[in-house]
Structure 1
Amino acid sequence: MNDNITFEDFTKVDLRVGTIIEVNDFPDARNPAYQLTIDFGDLGIKKSSAQITSLYKKENLVNRQIVAVLNFPKKQIANFMSECLVLGAVNSKDVILLNPENMVKNGSVVS
């Protein structure tokens, strides 16, 4: 377990729900990954790289809601600029996406 944080620290993390609207292969990534385009409603469209190819097919990801961190700095991954961090639970080496149980408005706050 990592060091404890305060509730104030936690409130600084901008967790939001978005819907994946496009998925592309990412052959230049060091580890197998997809390039995701995600709609966060009023917050706009953001791109992210996600190492989820072992459990998810591209066609099954489109229109799927996910949870992401929006206030990390952008990160260059190979020739791609990732603008948010999609969250998942790591099971062995596979990543299982976190998502709301029911559909919610894109951009909804996760708290």
Structure 2
Amino acid sequence: MDNITTFEDFTKVDLRIGTIIEVNDFPKANRPAYQLTIDFGDLGIKKSSAQITTQYQKEDLLHRQIVAVVNFPKKQIANFMSECLVVGAVKEKDVFLLHPESKVKNGSTVS
């Protein structure tokens, strides 16, 4: 394997559980995407752009808990500032969101 990550590297990635509280179309994105507003409890509210329009309708995402990396630097995407990275599994070109099996407190860590 060429791409080895140490345990120390992994511990720097802050994965948290959040609940999607708002979903909007993102027409200015280069590829079809939604703008998500996510509640991370004590960490606050963060926004993210997610290219998940082929598998999810907006109403399916509202109130869904997801996993996201919350300690990446902000990233400008068109006219939108993404503050976290929603995590999903990729099958061919589709992204399937990772989520807890049962409801947990927003802001809970993932390890």
TM over 0.5: yes
2:68 equivalent to 1:68: yes
How far does residue 108 in structure 1 lie from its aligned partner after superposition? 0.2
Measure, in 2, the Cα distance between the counterparts of 1:103 and 1:34.
Answer: 23
Aligned positions of 1:1-111 closer than 5 A: 3-111=3-111
Q: Secondary structure at the match of 1:105?
A: coil
What are the Cα deviations for residues 23-68 of structure 1, in whole angstroms up to 9, with x where unaligned? 0000000000000000000000000000000010001100000000
AA in 2 matched with 1:87: V
How far does residue 81 in structure 1 lie from its aligned partner after superposition? 0.1
TM-score by length of structure 1 reads 0.98
How far does residue 3 in structure 1 lie from its aligned partner after superposition? 1.2
Measure, in 2, the Cα distance between the counterparts of 1:2 and 1:56.
Answer: 34
AA in 1 matched with 2:18: G
The number of residues matched between the two structures is: 111
What are the Cα deviations for residues 50-89 of structure 1, in whole angstroms up to 9, with x where unaligned? 0000010001100000000001000000000000000001
Unaligned runs of 5+ in 2: none
How far does residue 2 in structure 1 lie from its aligned partner after superposition? 5.1
Q: Secondary structure at the match of 1:42?
A: helix
Q: Secondary structure at the match of 2:10?
A: helix
Unaligned runs of 5+ in 1: none
TM-score by length of structure 2 reads 0.98
Measure, in 1, the Cα distance between the counterparts of 2:4 and 2:108.
Answer: 26
AA in 1 matched with 2:13: V
